[in-house]
Structure 1
């Protein structure tokens, strides 16, 4: 079995999560109370990220083939081109606000642009809740970077026993977050931004543990499709008792889905479709923020409720199309240049994670 096919179901799950995040943000343009669990897709990304990073790099790091600086460089090269593009679109939108709305100053724009391009939170605009005004999806990348740095700092000393201890202690931090914030939340807004540190450690290092104890792969199309369906449903439902349920999602359900998905291989025609879902997932996730911000400005001039929902469907299509263009004509060529036209040994799943 080729490694490119090994985790194709995880590719599909990541793609489904990215589309659900997009739908969540589109629905938020109309109501802020719908799809409360869709935002937990980010926590699923963290579990998946821990698994992928460990799968791709742990053996090389432990064998001495890869040093800390190289690991950091690889992760920046993989993630930053589309961060730069999407944040630049956000900067252009903010520039229009400086010129035509006079709602922000040029100095404020320069400050928030520098922070945005560095993927750091901004507290420049106290009148707005978000800590990432140029690109709302960037917040999770800040904590992704933190988790990656924490991992590379300790992985050489991270025995299985030590890893289990890290997971246990970080779960207590997650429990604190749930108790303090009323559920799994935090990291994206100025208020409670620091809670993102409590949020990321458990799912990320749980993903690392899942890699260490991953099952042997087996071909099972029906189980794989059922897993995709179940995952979609649990993110779209509206269950009561968000605090308890969100803790169960991140503590049990998401790790179980990644564990099960890592043990399922699919060689049927659906393989290619799932692979494409994986390829488009990150572009859709990181590009949607500034594009939807443009849509929000247009929507202010639409006074029909029906038309606003139809416009949201158009936004969905635009985000998918622009994300595909950005992936194919910017990110892929840049990645080829950065790789020196060489394919990574771990396969497509790793290259696009």
Structure 2
């Protein structure tokens, strides 16, 4: 039997460690708890002040995976000032109807939105780097990358597409080697469990499920609820842009951490429901670690190192848990043996065993 490799499994973190770091959340998944602690440790190493969270009832408390207001305003959630500047510029020119939680993006270290910018804004600034990275992830997709947008939809509310507010986290347009107009529509997940609130089902979804040709069973109920509904809507939106003649081909790419088992299970379950027919938008599940490796081998090792430290290097979490589990305090005195003979029991000053003296 193969030896267990602890690096491939995140620990169940003792509650006291989570509370000490101010990151205990009762309903966090195993991955989310580890990721929340990782973000708090990353913040502490940089001496960034801790933020607060106010719940629906108005109760305010410290939360180690959030930044204080001033640090958030100064862009501490982004790994370089240039990325922070690009994020501000993109938000200033965001599409009408784009749903962006500004406070969450700037203050929440666990959010997938700043991850999306930290990962892809440098590629937007360097199209040659973007081409090298994307061609490693999807070989032959791009001769050149022309543009990368964030929180993009070809038409919110437009019945040509999904007739709703569904959008891609990022969208890269490309010219393929054969001259075809192509795209990569990107969905980024970090700590999500794929149980987030479901969108209201619409008749247009059923129409697209049948007409898109993506699904072996277009009426499959599993597609219409968590954990698959978000992937279903995003993929249909991507296919509808091809069907509308805006692009010749495309890829719907999911990026998520290898150890986020909720997302990885959902991706596998979703993939089994696809026809994989020729001419359809391809679904590509890419682990975040592989994207970071592609960034490194494409010529940006410093960026890759910063991304790895921030999002996928759980070494500090493992170290903390191991110390807590192995460094147990020693007992001040040995346990008294229940079978110790009477002759060895402590005696009274007169030499009578203590038990008899009592």
TM over 0.5: no
TM-score, normalised via structure 2 length: 0.28
Q: Which has the higher helix share?
A: 1
Richer in strand (by share): 2
TM-score by length of 1: 0.29
Q: Which has the larger radius of gyration?
A: 2
